[in-house]
Amino acid sequence: MPIVGFDSSILNRPITELPSIPEGIAPSIFRPTDSGSKGYELVLKAMMGASVKTQDEDKFRSHYEQSLSNTLAKFRIQRKKPIYKAYHFASQNPQTTPDMISYLLSQLEPSIERIDVYCAYYNQPYVSCFGESAGQRMLPIVFIERFQNAFPHVCAWKYLVKYPYETDLVFQIDHFESKITPAWRVLKTSNVQLQVFYSGGECNPLVATADVILRLIELFQYGNVNGRSLLSPIVDHIPPLESKLRFHNLGGKGEDQHHTAPVVNLDINLTECIKRPIYYIIWRPEKERAEMKPIFEWGVFYNGVLAEAIRTKGCVKYFRDEDVIHWDPNQDFVSPFSKNDEHFLSRIKELGHDIPRIFRPRL
């Protein structure tokens, strides 16, 4: 059964416009003043996505496990996580990150049937949104910043448009948030099996592979934002993948933009699409959470929960109060970190809520 994993990111490029040098003045001695002739910065932003297709999920997972081990061993990096996003490579050794990503992708190449890269860059005065309610016009940069998190499902819709002959598809999509779009309505009425993963880049190998592809593009793309410049980083660093690459522009007017822009100011309900089991991590530290979170996520408890989620093809989520409404005690798990977190679970149960089974990783 063909499986396609999706992830997205933002291509962010500063555009520095230098002041023109007055005629007759040598560049070597010209120094602009602060009175209006100083250079200024413009910003180019585009939504970018990637999907990775394979024919056999289990084989890809097994191949990913071996390929990641080979990659880390080659670059003498101690393995601290079961699945690596680009951020994880960069955290342990930023200098060799491009080489590690390239080596990993070259190892995975036999298991990859196709890589699709998607981009939406709006060279126009405004983007129209919420046409079925109180319509709005947004500057392109505002539209991208406000709805960038929704782009994975738009890429999934574009995949359906480009490959209508493919059947029995399973889409594995990194978790996203979005207002209702025409793209979502098409996806929900299609025959595709939608699986949305919390923390997809950490507990799903296909999504993680899409993530590192996007990072390679971010690092080495230059020039105009088009198919050639976006695919070149992959071609240059992993030549065997060239024949498996496709590009899709979603930034033009017409159907692409119509399906991308929200039509009504209501949130998409992903409840039925979230991949289970969900492992809810109960972690309520005494110190500031933001201060401790990066340390916690490199620790054995967090990565032990991730490893179990990967084994059971589920996903991981930090617990929030509203999760008691959505969790499934028969399918999901809770993983309390400390005795205080276990006590917190007991208090929830005392309030009349059913609690999922407890999973404790080996420490």
pLDDT tens digit string along 187-229? 999 999 999 999 999 999 999 999 999 999 999 998 888 999 9
Q: How far apart are CA 234 and CA 192, in angstroms?
A: 28
Residue 334 near residue 360, CB atoms below 8 Å:
no
Phi–psi pair at 172, nearest 5 degrees: -110, 115
45 contact partners, CB below 8 Å, separation of at least 6: 10, 11, 12, 13, 121, 141, 144, 145
- Amino acid 39: pLDDT: 55
- CB-based contacts of 348: which residues, under 8 Å, 6+ apart? 324, 355
The per-residue pLDDT for 23 is 81
* Structure tokens belonging to residue 52: 């990775």
Least Cα distance to 180 among 257, 256, 273, 260 occurs for 260
Angle at 326 between CA 259 and CA 51, to 5 degrees: 40
Q: Report DSSP state, residue 274.
A: B
CA-to-CA distance for 312 and 359, rounded, in angstroms? 12
Q: What's residue 37's pLDDT?
A: 47
Q: What is the DSSP pairing of strand 3-17 with strand 170-174?
A: parallel
CA distance 355 to 117: 41
The SS3 of residue 9 is strand
Token readout for 42 is: 């413009």
pTM exceeds cut of 0.85: yes
Residue type, 1: M
Peptide bond just before 277 cis, omega within 30 deg:
yes
Burial of 205 (0-12, 13-18, 19+ CB in 10 A): buried
Task: Quote the distance between the C-alpha of residue 112 and its chain's center.
Answer: 18
Strand partners, 14: 43
For residue 41, the model assigns a pLDDT of 59
DSSP E strand boundaries for 203-296: 245-249, 264-267, 278-282
At residue 72, φ and ψ (nearest 5 deg) are: -65, -40
**Hey, which bits of 55-202 come out as E strands?**
114-120, 127-129, 136-138, 170-174, 179-180, 193-197
So what's the pLDDT on residue 34?
Answer: 59
pLDDT of residue 58: 97
Distance, in Å, from the CA atom of 40 to the CA atom of 59, rounded to the nearest integer, reads: 51
Burial class (CB in 10 A: 0-12, 13-18, 19+), 74: middle
* pLDDT of amino acid 267: 95
Tell me the DSSP string of 149-209: GGHHHHHHHHHHHH-TT--S-EEEEE----EE-HHHHHHHHSS-EEEEETTHHHH-HHHHH
Confidence (pLDDT) at 246: 98
Q: Which residues contact 23 (CB under 8 A, 6 or more apart)?
A: none
Residues (pLDDT < 50) of the chain are: 36-37
